[in-house]
Amino acid sequence: MARQDNIGDVLLAGPAVRAVAARAEEVVLLCGPRGRAAADLLPGVDEVIEWRAPWIDPEPDPVDVLDIERFTGTLAGFDRALILTSSHQSPLPLALLLRLAGTPWIGGISEDYPGSLLDLRHRPEGDVPEPLRMLALAEDAGFPASADTRLRVREPLPDTDHLTGGPGYVVVHPGASVPARAWPPAHCADAVRVLGAAGHRVVVTGHGDEKELTALVAGEDGLDLGGRTTLAELGSVLRGARAVVAGNTGPAHLAAAVGTPVVSLFAPTVPAARWAPFGVPLALLGDQQAPCKDSRARECPVDGHPCLASVRAEEVAAAVEIVAADVGPGGEVVA
């Protein structure tokens, strides 16, 4: 199986991976370096192959013939391959390399004519959530889904009480790999103050290269964990939260994978119907009809970033109370 882009994308592939793992002798997951940490967290994965695909990575290396030849050699010996992609990606470049490696059966989602590159050409209809889109490919390939289609992570996660002081806090995650999807830092800092004034303990999380951002957002009212957790530890921190406030970014999907409600500051550059956090109580904030809708812009094309800048900290705090109320004391979703 292959899912070659970012952390969140790989986590969203989890239900499809588990469906295949239930019937296959072994599941090897091909991922890119940006998604490797998430691949290591997926239940059902027996082995991970990491390779940077020049047709998928947002900052690709130049195409190198020797690198392609070496990579094709690592693909030899597989009986079947399922290529999991987003709607804007093509499975055909990888399918070609798999054919050159001798893979006898390949399935993928493709709007383009695949010729002899695919044995199964799956064509989904409509804006279905990304996990279900990939799961439909697995089902079409003969791997039916179980009743549990939620996102999951490999257990056990590490204990992080020594970092957070124990569960019951609210997490604010201000960063995003795509700037157009990030709530402005000043708004994040306002939310930390408002949540703190409402009696919440607030934990601010972020990647190692976001320490300046997380320090600014945490201020004097939040606990700054920027750069202090691995992805597995971040998953544990998110699990201990009553709710997570985040943009459309990998940690929002990680929160869903550990069962924590999400207040999603969602820029409409991609459709929320496909990409919003899946399977947990959710509050979707942000102007979904803004001019940037469906543009896939990495940098906001509109002055002032209005789709997210228009969301006030008080709205976020109110949404936290709503989504947190949908979860019982043991973490179960209340109907």
Residue 91: the pLDDT is: 98
Q: Which residue among 106, 140, 174 closes a domain?
A: 140
Per-residue pLDDT at 333: 45
DSSP designation for 23: T
pLDDT tens digits for 94-139?
999 999 999 999 999 999 999 999 999 999 888 899 999 999 999 9
> Are 202 and 88 found together in one domain?
no
Where is the domain boundary, 140, 173, 189? 140
- The CATH number of residue 276's host domain is 3.40.50.2000
The answer to whether residues 257 and 232 touch, using CB atoms and an 8 Å cutoff, is no
| 169, 99: one domain | no
**pLDDT tens by residue, 15-49:** 999 999 999 999 999 999 999 999 999 999 999 99
Q: State the pLDDT confidence band at 334, using cuts at 50, 70 and 90.
A: very low
Can you point out the beta strands (E) in the chain?
28-31, 47-50, 80-83, 105-109, 120-122, 169-173, 202-204, 222-224, 241-247, 262-265, 282-285
Handedness of CA 256, 261, 264, 270 (dihedral sign): positive
Q: Are residues 221 and 104 in the same domain?
A: no
Spatial neighbors of 306 by CB under 8 A, at least 6 apart, are 287, 290
- The model's pLDDT over 217-256, given as tens digits with 9 standing for 90+, comes to 999 999 999 999 999 999 999 999 999 999 999 999 999 9
Residues 223, 108: one domain? Answer: no
251 and 317 within one domain:
yes
Q: How far is CA 209 from the centre of its chain?
A: 19
Instruction: Tell me whether residue 31 is in a domain.
Output: yes
CA–CA distance, 83 with 75 (Å, rounded to integer): 13
Q: State how far the Cα of 233 lies from the Cα of 17, in Å rounded to an integer.
A: 22
Q: Is 16 domain-assigned?
A: yes
Q: What is the pLDDT of residue 327?
A: 61
Domain that holds residue 49: 7-140
Closest of 256, 259, 290, 258 to residue 275, by C-alpha: 256
Contacts of residue 161, Cβ cutoff 8 Å, sequence gap at least 6: 167, 240
Nearest to 105 by CA among 70, 133, 143, 68: 143
| pLDDT for 108 | 98
Residues 168 and 316 in one domain: yes
* 331 domain-assigned: no
Q: Does a structural domain hold residue 27?
A: yes
Phi, psi for 224 (deg, rounded to 5) = -90, 110
| pTM to 2 decimal places | 0.95
Whether 103 and 201 share a structural domain: no
In a domain, 216, yes or no: yes
- Identify whether residues 63 and 102 lie together within a single domain: yes
Count of domains observed in the chain: 2
Q: Are residues 183 and 269 in the same domain?
A: yes
Q: 197 and 248: one domain?
A: yes
Chain position carrying tokens 């889904």: 145
Is residue 255 domain-shared with residue 213, that is, in the same domain? yes
Q: What is the 3-state secondary structure (H, E, C) of 259-323?
A: CCCEEEECCCCCCHHHHCCCCCCEEEECCCCCCCCCCCCCCCCCCCCHHHHCCCHHHHHHHHHHH
Q: What is the mean pLDDT of residues 325-329?
A: 62
Answer whether 244's CB lies under 8 Å from 171's CB.
yes
pLDDT tens-digit map of 282-306? 999 999 999 999 999 999 999 999 9
Degrees (nearest 5) of the Cα angle 38, 57, 183? Answer: 70
199 burial type by CB count under 10 A (0-12 exposed, 13-18 middle, 19+ buried): exposed
Q: Is the pLDDT of residue 60 over 90?
A: yes
Question: Contact 198/27 with Cβ under 8 angstroms?
Answer: no
122/168 same-domain check: no
Picking from 8, 1, 5, the residue whose alpha carbon sits closest to that of residue 252 is: 8
